[in-house]
Structure 1
Amino acid sequence: MALLGAQLVITLVMVSIIQKLGPHYSLARWILCSTGLIRYLYPTDDELRALAGVPKDKAKGKKGGRYIENGKTGDTFHIPRSLDVQLETTKVTPLDVVHLRYYTEYQWLVDFALYSTIVYIATEVYQYFFPLKDEINLSMLWCFLVVGFALKLLVLLTVQYFRAEESVGERSTVIVTGFAYLLVAMMILIVDENTLELGLDKAYKSFNESAAAFLDTQGLDSKGPASKLVLKFFLALWCGLVGAVFTFPGLRMSRMHWDSLRYCGENRLLKIALNLSFAFPLLLIILWVKPICRDYLTARVFTGMTGPLMTPHAFESLRLIAVVVAVLLRLLLMPVYLQAYLNMAYHRIEEQKKEAGRITNLELQKKVAAVFYYLCVVTLQYVAPIIMCLFFTFMYKTLGGYAWDGLFTAAPSPEECPADAPHPSHFTPFPGQEESITHSAKQFTLALDSMKQVFTTDVFRGLLGFATWWSCFAWFATTSMGMVYQTYFGHT
């Protein structure tokens, strides 16, 4: 049985590229340092003294103090909040970002996602010309790791709100939204499949029958491993977790979108692109609503036409391509959104000028420096949900047995469709070769065949289709919630 074949070569080549070129070339570093991002510099103590008219020898009064930062000792003094401070700007450089918080995690996630995408594309091209029969699709392992890394980082970022004592409001927001998404997921999971075609009922039926048959072959009497209610409950818990960790990325995204629209000015093309990027996830959600999309495009025959607009095969490809287009559009606009975030330093100072009272030099400097300090945190919140949606789609397409070119080709014949039932191996060892096959290899082959018997194509279509749809739903719902907040409670 050919377990790896040419895919092992693709994986080994990519691992070699990561080792040799990874330290020197980085997409994550290029996005931050080569796309023209501008950051604001906080004013120095001498500049603030000159603007406020504070003599240096009087800065050490009773209300003052001293601090040590970056090995240098400075004085703490008070200045008016309305002080006319003009911030200087400079381009973001690699030396600036390497010390930022979560930069290593951000770089690893983005670069590994790029390498995994290359492996996936190479595997798909190879599979198009030489269809896999008894081989393991190694690109699925890469995709699974990317999804795991993205979810892990989002969880770590969310956990920070529970560790900080001053983050009571953020902690409450995460808990409330998590339970809200759990409730929404429970409601969605009871919706009829004729309305929202998630494929979970068909997946459960296939899994239960296959698992029962497998247990029967092992001499165990069972009608199935678990009830549908229990499985859907655990799916709802996963949905609540995803919704909770998507909350603050969505709120941050909505704030950056709100600010980006203000900076567009007369650039109508950019404004259209921003609004299209924001609304695209809603289109992805609707594509799974059967009466609106599938029935309308694949069943209804319009006047003057002899058949529907699309075949079911083409419609499945349309959904896959739509997710990829939405992700690519969001990635292309990433520098625009990040610059909108960096501009917060300027707006913080401008808002402060309208306030009365006094502020220390350290507080003012931290107010400006904190924006750039959390740049990689914000960038992670931006890219991690996008990456999860993209790689869930990759897995949904491959393990679900769909095709990218369904819009341009006819539907495959039943003989070409991936079979759910187990099939005999096409590998026949040469005489005497049986002795060269180790016992561990036999056990691995047996385990792999057992997995194929239980986790059929219908199972993957249901689980990964639901994961893809829910990721897009949470992606849009959190950003929409943030836009509602910006509209009614945010700053104009």
Structure 2
Amino acid sequence: MALLGAQLVITLVMISVIQKLGPHFSFARWLLCSTGLVRYLYPTDAELRHLASIPRGKKGPKQSNGKAETFHVPRSLDVSLETAKVTRLDVIHLRYYSEYQWLLDFTVYAVIVYVVTEVYQTWFPLKDEVNLSMMWCGLVLLFSIKLLLSLTVQYFKGEESVGERSTCIVMGFTYLLISMMVLIVDENTLELGLEDAYNSFNKSASVFLSKQGLNSSGPASKIVLKFFIALWCGILGALFTFPGLRIAKMHWDLLKYFRERKLIQIMLNVSFALPFVLVIFWIKPVARTYITVRIFSGMTQPLLTTHAFETLRIVAIVLTVFVKLVLMPWYLQAYLDMAYNRTQEQKKEAGRITNIEFQKKIAAVFYYLCVVTLQYITPIIMCLILSFMYKTLGEFSWGALFKEPVNECPVVNPPKTIDPFETSSRDSIAQSAAEFHATFENLKSVFSAEVFRGIFGFSTWWCCFVYFATTSVGLVYQTYFSTI
């Protein structure tokens, strides 16, 4: 019996594609350089001198100590910023560009592996095989968490980012408190599946430990597990804080830019509210009971079956991610337009500013483009990957929306009669393979589909909840300060 079959071929082919195609084509680079993004160029010293009517100094553009010459210009200086299209040579030197390119490109490859594996599994169901697409998804999830963590750590390194550190800490403890409140909600109201997951895991683990000669009622108590789950939820909430605030700021700027085009505003607001719809899907009285239990007048059965409802939730997440990805260039352009908005706001101020500070204010916007792109794309990648893992490890079906899956009866093989002469001639490699297969089956019995449904179902819901909650807080913040 082979543990790896066609899946290994799919993985090896995709690795070869990464090596051959990766240096020549990059979806991440295409999103930044081929979607019409425009950046603003800061004015040179000569342009600022000309507009401010400042004569050139005797020492020329460079001072004797090697530093750039500094002079003051009025803040209300009427400066028209030149624009230029974002090109590959512009972004390749930006901070976090390599991390952004690797994350998004690897996510695309992982999604392709997942889709090909799901199509293959439709005709040839996997039996006693490791689903390698889950390994790809797990790597994408680890990369996403690592990048969010590295971006958040930057706020704790600088001496001037006291407010950012305080915001992260406060939001982390806030989401810790919210997660504790969520974990005590009854499953009949908020169906996260953690109770069934814990009962299944505790029962299977107890049987597994008893077979090993160990007396145990379970690996851990429910309170301890929920405490660590709440702790992880608080950390994830802190990691999502500034990405959510950044997305809210870009969304607010887009609404102001399209104030005359109501149809686009409605589309943007619908896109913004889609994560809230995903959160609603896990509230049982509102979603599952209404769709899978209630029978409307003129109908003989509910709208969807239980399996179809689970598939509907996963499909809704995929569609939401697709919509967010399509609107991504608009949001990035709204961020790049901050350079223009800063100059317009500065014209209303009194006083003077140095040429270096003025140029840094404009250049910093484009310098942090990849950081903002990561803050936009990483949360939705995590939601997408978690939904894939929830579907596959939870043993759901994509076709449940169209037909009810058939539960196949397990085939029980008759026990083999072991010949003592044949036993003595067995190869040691075959015995090792048999032992490995037995261990693998025991682990499969411990980590059942119910366990994975609880783990990844809750993780998917929490990511969608934190994403929507943080962006909503940021939008309220922008609305409040724009009206005072």
- TM-score under structure 2 normalisation? 0.95
Matching residue of 1:15: 15
Matching residue of 1:368: 362
CA distance in structure 1 between the aligned counterparts of 2:416 and 2:71, rounded to whole angstroms: 80
Matching residue of 2:251: 257
Q: 1:413 aligns with which of 386, 396, 406?
A: 406
CA distance in structure 1 between the aligned counterparts of 2:430 and 2:381, rounded to whole angstroms: 39
After TM superposition, the structure 1 = structure 2 runs for residues 6-405 of structure 1, keeping only pairs within 5 Å, are: 6-57=6-57, 74-405=68-399
CA distance in structure 1 between the aligned counterparts of 2:260 and 2:431, rounded to whole angstroms: 70
Matching residue of 2:2: 2
1:89–1:348 distance in 2 versus 1, CA, 3 Å: same
1:214–1:464 distance in 2 versus 1, CA, 3 Å: same
CA distance in structure 1 between the aligned counterparts of 2:483 and 2:82, rounded to whole angstroms: 24
CA distance in structure 1 between the aligned counterparts of 2:254 and 2:59, rounded to whole angstroms: 40
Per-residue displacement from partner, 1:13-38 (whole Å, max 9, x unpaired)? 00000011111110000000000000
1:322–1:218 distance in 2 versus 1, CA, 3 Å: same
Paired residue type of 2:405: P
1:273–1:427 distance in 2 versus 1, CA, 3 Å: farther
Superposition RMSD in Å: 2.4
Q: Which moved more, 1:258-267 or 1:5-14?
A: 258-267
Instruction: Indicate conservation of the 8 Å contact 2:200/2:448, yes or no.
Output: yes
Q: 1:437 aligns with which of 429, 433, 446?
A: 429
SS at match of 1:437: helix
CA distance in structure 1 between the aligned counterparts of 2:380 and 2:2, rounded to whole angstroms: 34
SS at match of 1:79: strand
Per-residue deviation at 1:444?
A: 3.8
Per-residue deviation at 1:273?
A: 2.1
Per-residue deviation at 1:435?
A: 2.1
SS at match of 1:198: coil
Q: 2:478 aligns with which of 468, 482, 486?
A: 486
SS at match of 2:460: helix
Give aligned-pair identity as a percent. 65
Per-residue displacement from partner, 1:415-448 (whole Å, max 9, x unpaired)? 26xx8xx9889999xx999527366645543432
1:59–1:378 distance in 2 versus 1, CA, 3 Å: farther
Instruction: Indicate conservation of the 8 Å contact 1:4/1:136, yes or no.
Output: yes
Q: Which moved more, 1:240-249 or 1:1-10?
A: 1-10
CA distance in structure 2 between the aligned counterparts of 1:108 and 1:31, rounded to whole angstroms: 13
Instruction: Indicate conservation of the 8 Å contact 2:275/2:468, yes or no.
Output: yes
Per-residue displacement from partner, 1:320-357 (whole Å, max 9, x unpaired)? 10000110000000000000000000000111111111
Paired residue type of 2:56: K
Per-residue displacement from partner, 1:273-318 (whole Å, max 9, x unpaired)? 2111100000000000000010011111111211111111111111
CA distance in structure 2 between the aligned counterparts of 1:251 and 1:193, rounded to whole angstroms: 31
CA distance in structure 2 between the aligned counterparts of 1:177 and 1:405, rounded to whole angstroms: 40
Aligned residues: 480
Uncovered stretches (5+) of structure 2, i.e. residues with no partner: none
Paired residue type of 1:222: S
Paired residue type of 2:406: S
CA distance in structure 2 between the aligned counterparts of 1:355 and 1:424, rounded to whole angstroms: 83
1:80–1:181 distance in 2 versus 1, CA, 3 Å: same
Paired residue type of 1:12: L
- TM-score under structure 1 normalisation? 0.93
Q: 1:454 aligns with which of 446, 459, 462?
A: 446
CA distance in structure 2 between the aligned counterparts of 1:183 and 1:426, rounded to whole angstroms: 54
1:106–1:443 distance in 2 versus 1, CA, 3 Å: farther
CA distance in structure 1 between the aligned counterparts of 2:416 and 2:174, rounded to whole angstroms: 52
1:66–1:375 distance in 2 versus 1, CA, 3 Å: farther
1:59–1:3 distance in 2 versus 1, CA, 3 Å: same
Instruction: Indicate conservation of the 8 Å contact 2:397/2:405, yes or no.
Output: no
Instruction: Indicate conservation of the 8 Å contact 1:66/1:76, yes or no.
Output: no
SS at match of 1:371: helix
